Chain A
């Protein structure tokens, strides 16, 4: 047998999924979010590899995912909750209390950070969140290490009955590496919840004791052998100097030192658990080194805990505080720290071609009509592919999951104070998955506060931005099994909405009529929230394109180069041929949906 038969090329997210299954996790829950999404996807795809029953779910949001996994841990089984960094904000309420109450079976929360950010609304650092929450956090330096740390985090969590967090960054999640697969564990645990109201339902009377126990456990946890910083000693070229690094930044440093022919020249510490740090190690650094470079993403979490007088890092102002700590940025910092020859300045950020809604995306048609009918409207939107409606100037605000409906209501309340009859039309756009995640409560609030706004639910029947996870109204679970489908319309009606219409935004005329009718409704004496569902399947999903007409699109010489199809409609298959002064179709990218045809003011776009 080939000695490497257990080696697989795995994306970091797949590696972590394998780690959860191998460690015997039996309940795994998540809400999709880049860069974490493929973890649960891979657990679902590989759930047949588990030796015991394994429940895998796409929860409606991160708070729910966390709470489902938490209760599973109370029964003694191993569980995991998975989310992106801002997802932890949604799950913050149960997360913070869980630190005090603890767990039974190992429960790992995997929170994927996004330094850069590449695909997020901020660069928050989960390690700092854990410091605030008093939860031990593991910071892997490679996809393979992310997988290796999972059983350790679960075992230590069980030993101390503490929640633990694994914090991979984007460059761990979305890197591939050849990785060894291990035996899948069979723990043979039966659900066994032991009542203890002084803990699981702790009232304030019990919390000082639980808080004291938490602090005692943290002190012991910090001294565990398996999590101590790992040292590679230097050859004395840089006496009384050291470098401390954690996460993927440690790996960048290893390669950088190698490329500069400096491997083994300076004491180098890898911090695997940035919180809690062992006080003895902090003292050792103060005693043995005058200067310590601290390289970490994204906030100076280790550096602030070290409180070292010779620290060289983000807190001290020596390393740039914002953005990803790429090998190029690190090179500049290292050159300063070691007084190496000056390096070229880091290349200016250039993200190249901006992303766009896909050709044929129903959202594009919806945004185009919204902007056309309400040129002076206010357009709060939300998190998803449809954030790209910004390119069509039909998205004015994007904040966090579900914020658009409440923000829309806030805009209305502020404007109506000044102009009771002449407030601007507020048109909110929210995706179907985001609506279930946190839009429903905001809709109820908007109705009871009589916010006269139009809410357009962009329903493509999938969580599209993250690669196509099922949504509650399609009746499919993470593993593809059938379940109850929860329709959007009755939910909207039960929220007290009296104007509800649904249409395919490809039918511009009908959709624009409905927008005008909705505007009339919100301005009528009994008007309140009006909801329109703009329903068209996602172009990335199999079968959707085959179900719709396929035109061969061409543009005639009659084109007057008004750029409306290129700028206002912004289809990536259309561009300007500046030499000939006409718009042209890129036939490689055009899918023949024909939605651009009505956009042309002189009917120069033809579809056959």
Chain B
């Protein structure tokens, strides 16, 4: 099993949390995993990108045109990061407009749950629902329960389920 995943968004959207959840799923399944993340100045509302490489890899970075899946929390980043995906790579995109990829208005859904930052797990749910990510529902829930702060666990699971049903 090998899968190269990007998570693209802006600082404050929970890109790092989603990255950790996906990487933890790989660890739980005893798969080797490497991530690379954006920290520092860009986290103050600038574009941020995480790469997640599940399987036998050495480098944490993804080359142009090599990504299998992209989770886009901020659709304006498509211009910047879409090129990292293979031509037939899957995109799950938080967007109010339709496109050729899997598009859903995850921010509006998250707002209904009470917090726009839940967009991240809604996209994860949509990726599982569309079978474009290596892991299944139970594995995601397990990792979310491991990593989310106790008082947010149920809200996070609810967001993930909302994405699953979208």
Interface residues of A (CB under 8 A from B): 4, 7, 9, 11, 34-35, 38, 118-119, 141-142, 171, 174-178, 248, 250-252, 254-256, 259, 326-328, 331, 344, 346-347, 350-358, 385, 387-388, 465-467, 572, 588-589
Contact = CB atoms under 8 A, between A and B. Distances in A.
Contacts of A358: 12, 44-45
Nearest to B8: A352
B27 A118 contact: no
B63 A251 contact: no
Given A353-B77, A355-B43, A355-B44, A9 B59 contact: no
Contacts of A327: 59, 61-63
A327 B57 CA distance: 13
Given A11-B37, A351-B80, A356-B45, 13 more contacts: A34-B39, A35-B39, A142-B58, A176-B35, A177-B33, A252-B59, A254-B58, A259-B63, A328-B63, A352-B10, A353-B46, A355-B44, A356-B44
Contacts of B63: 255-256, 259, 326-328, 331
Nearest to A172: B60
22 contacts: A35-B39, A142-B58, A171-B61, A176-B20, A177-B32, A177-B33, A178-B27, A178-B33, A251-B58, A251-B59, A255-B63, A256-B63, A350-B79, A350-B80, A352-B76, A352-B79, A352-B80, A353-B46, A355-B43, A467-B39, A572-B45, A588-B116
Interface string B2-14: 0000000011100
Contacts of A347: 64, 83
A9 B64 contact: no
A255 B44 contact: no
Q: In the complex, which of the residues A4, A7, A572 has the most CB atoms of chain B within 10 Å of its own CB atom? A: A572
B95 interface: no
A7 B80 CA distance: 35
A351 B46 contact: yes
Contact of B64 (A38, A344, A355): A344
Contacts of A346: 64
A119 B42 contact: yes
A589 to B, nearest CB: 8
Nearest to B28: A9
A588 B111 contact: yes
A252 B64 CA distance: 13
Contacts, number: 136
Contact of A174 (B37, B46, B47, B107): B37
Given A176-B33, A465-B40, A588-B107, A171 B60 contact: yes
B134 interface: no
B155 interface: no
Contact of B33 (A9, A351, A387): A9
A142 to B, nearest CB: 7
B66 interface: yes
A588 B41 CA distance: 21
Contacts of B57: 255
B41 A34 contact: yes
Nearest to B11: A355
Contacts of B81: 352
Contacts of B19: 176
A514 B43 CA distance: 32
Contacts of A9: 20, 23-24, 27, 33
Nearest to A9: B27
B64 A175 contact: no
B47 A353 contact: yes
Nearest to B51: A175
A540 to B, nearest CB: 9
Top 8 nearest A-B pairs (CB, nearest first) are: A352-B47, A119-B40, A355-B46, A34-B40, A588-B116, A254-B58, A175-B60, A251-B58
A175 B63 CA distance: 16
Nearest to B31: A178
Given A176-B23, A176-B33, A347-B64, A355 B58 contact: no
B129 interface: no
Nearest to B117: A588
